[in-house]
A and B are shown apart, each in its own frame.
Chain A
Amino acid sequence: MLALQTSTERSATRAPLLSLRGVGKAFSNGVTALSGVDMTIRQGDFVSLLGPSGCGKSTALRIIAGLSTPTTGGLDWHGETIGQRDLGFVFQEPTLMPWASVFDNVWLPLRLRGVSRAQAAAEIGEMLERVHLTGFEKAVPRELSGGMKMRVSIARSLVTRPKLLLMDEPFAALDEITRFKLNDDILELWQDRKLTVVFVTHSVFESVFLSNRIIVMAARPGRVHGEFDVDAPYPRDERFRTSADYAALCRDASEALLGAINASHQAYRGRA
C-alpha cells in the first residue's frame, strides 16, 4: 500500500510547482543543515516533510520561503510566477501581534501590501468565517485559547489567497483534540482553495492523516531519506482515523522514519 520510491499516477500527472535541486545549507559554525536535497512539489500536493529533529526540515522550509538562501544548489519554480509574496507561512507558534486585535492580525499581510482596512474587511470576514472565528474580530490574542490563536495564524497566512502554504510544525504545541480538529480544517481549506501545502512535522500520525505524499528526512547532514505516496482517498475524516488502512499506513511510515533515524545515528557514529 505504501512503497518507498514509487509514486502513484495521481500525483505524478500533476504539473510540478517547485523543485529543490541539490540544495545544501552550511552554517558558519560548521553545521551542515542540508546536503544535496532533491525534491519536487507538485501543484495541489499536500506534502509532509517528516523527520527527527535536526534533519533540516525547517531549514528546507525557510529556503523555500526565501527567508534563507541555499549554500549550494537552487530552487526551480518551473516558470511559475510564484514569488515570496504568493505564499503563506504558518510558524510553530501562533506568532500574533499581542497588541493587535484578531482583525488587525489577519489584516497585516494585506496592510503591508497597501490594502486599506475597509478594502480588506470583506476578505478578512470571509477568512475568519472559514476558521470559525466570526465574532472574535475585536478580541486580542491573550483572550484566545491556543487552538484559536493558531486559527488566527492560519487565517492570516491565507488572507492573501496564496497558491503555496508552508507550515512549520504548526500544531505541535496543541492538545490532541484541538490538533485533530485543526487537521480537519486544514484539509478542508486545502481542497476548497486548491492549495499546495508543504507541512513540516515530526508526527507520523499527523503526516499520514494529512498528506498525499511524505518525504522522510534523515539528519547529520539533513538529507532526503525516502519519499512515498499515501494511497488513501480524500476526504479523510474520523472514520479514516480509526480505520485499519490508516493504522497500516502509519506502521509503514513509522518504519520509514525509524530507518531515517538509524541512518542519522550511523552517519553520526561514522563521523565520530
Chain B
Amino acid sequence: MTAIDQSATVAIDAEEVRRVRRERAERIGRWVLPLTIMALAIFAWDRICVWNEIPHYILPRPGVVLQALYNDAALLFSSLLVTLRITFLGLLLAVAGGVGLAVLFAQSKWVEMSFFPFAVVLQVTPIVAIFPLINIYVDNQTTKLLLCAWIVAFFPILSNTTLGLNSADRNLRDLFALNGATRWQELWLLRLPSAMPYFLGGLKIAGGLALIGAVVAEFVAGAAGQSSGLASRIIEAGYRLNAPRLFAALILISATGIVIFLVLSWVSHMMLRRWHESALKQER
C-alpha cells in the first residue's frame, strides 16, 4: 500500500511562508493605506486651518464643511439629482450613439474612413469653446446640457467599440463565412461579443467624462444664470464667499465620480469574469 495520506499537513518552505504573508499584507494594505493617508490629510488640513488662523471663508475646517453638507443637504442633494440626471441621460445617449455609429462604421471601411475624422474633430475641440454655439442654436436648457455631456462622453465608446468590432478573430470570421453566416449573424454572434471588452473599457472612461461634461455644461450655462445643478451651486457659493458650501458641493461631485467609476468597473467585471483575460484571477 502506497496510498498518500491526504490529511497530513503539507510542509511549507520559508519562501512560501513569506509569499503568503506578503499577500495577506497586500490585501489589507490595499484598503487601509489609502484610508489612513486620507484621514491624515484631513487631520493636517484641520491643523493648518487652526494653526494659521485661516478664516473659514478662505479655507473652512473639515468639520465646518461637514456641517455645511448636513445643513444644506436639501439644497445640495436636489442639485446633485439634477446633475446626475444629465450625467446618466448623457451617458445613455453616448452609449447609444457610440455603439450605433461603431456598428455603422463596421459595416463598411468606406463609411468609417469618411466619418471617423468628424468624430475626432468633435472630440478634440474643447466643449467650453463649442458651448456658446450650442447656446445660440438650442433653446431647451436640458437639451443643451445633454448635448454637451454627449459630445464629451461618446468618443471613447465610439473609438473603443470600433476597434473591438474590427478585432474579431480572423479564423472565426472564416468559420462564419464557411457556414454561410449572414452579415447580421456575424455582427450579432461574433463581432459584438468580440467588441464587449473594448466597449466596457470605453464605458468606464465615458462614465467619468459624462459627469465632467454635465458639470462643465452647467458651469457655462450657469454663468448665464439658468441652471440648478451642482455646478451652479458652486458658482453661487463662490460669489457669496460661502466656502464651506463650495467644498461640500465639490466633495459631492468627486464622490459621484468615484461611485460611477466603481459601479461601471463592477459591471465590467461581472460581464467578463467568465472568459476575458482582464477579469481573470492571476494563477501562477
Interface residues of A (CB under 8 A from B): 65-67, 84-85, 87, 89, 91-93, 95, 97-100, 108-109, 111-113, 140-142, 160
Contacts and interface: CB of A to CB of B under 8 A. Distances in A.
A97 B126 CA distance: 40
Interface of B: 169, 171-172, 174-181, 185, 189-190, 193, 196, 274-276, 280
Given A67-B174, A140-B275, A97 B179 contact: no
Contact of B171 (A87, A95, A100, A141): A95
Interface centre among B180, B190, B276 (most CB of A within 10 A): B180
Contacts of A65: 178
A246 B4 CA distance: 41
14 contacts: A66-B178, A67-B177, A84-B180, A89-B175, A95-B175, A97-B190, A99-B193, A99-B275, A108-B175, A108-B179, A109-B175, A112-B176, A113-B179, A160-B179
B180 A97 contact: no
Nearest to B185: A112
Nearest to A141: B275
B181 A98 contact: no
A89 B178 contact: yes
A98 B185 contact: no
A91 B172 CA distance: 9
Contacts of B180: 84-85, 112-113
4 shortest A-B CB distances, which residue pairs? Answer: A95-B171, A112-B179, A98-B275, A91-B171
A262 B173 CA distance: 36
A66 to B, nearest CB: 7
Interface centre among A67, A111, A112 (most CB of B within 10 A): A112
A109 B275 contact: no
A89 B179 CA distance: 10
Contact of B178 (A84, A93, A99, A100): A84
Contacts of A108: 175, 179, 189
Interface majority SS on B: helix, strand, loop or mixed? helix
A99 B192 CA distance: 11
B81 to A, nearest CB: 37
B178 A140 contact: no
B171 to A, nearest CB: 4
Given A108-B189, A112-B185, A140-B274, A95 B179 contact: no
Contacts of A67: 174, 177-178
A142 B280 contact: yes
B175 A98 contact: no
Given A93-B171, A111-B189, A112-B185, A98 B178 contact: no
B189 A99 contact: no
Nearest to B274: A140
B36 to A, nearest CB: 38
A113 B177 CA distance: 12
Contacts of A141: 275
A145 to B, nearest CB: 14
A101 B174 CA distance: 20
B65 to A, nearest CB: 46
Nearest to A104: B189
Contacts of A99: 193, 196, 274-276
A109 B179 contact: yes
A95 to B, nearest CB: 4
Contacts of A85: 179-180
A140 B174 CA distance: 21
A112 B180 CA distance: 7
A92 B275 CA distance: 21
A97 B193 CA distance: 9
A98 B280 CA distance: 13
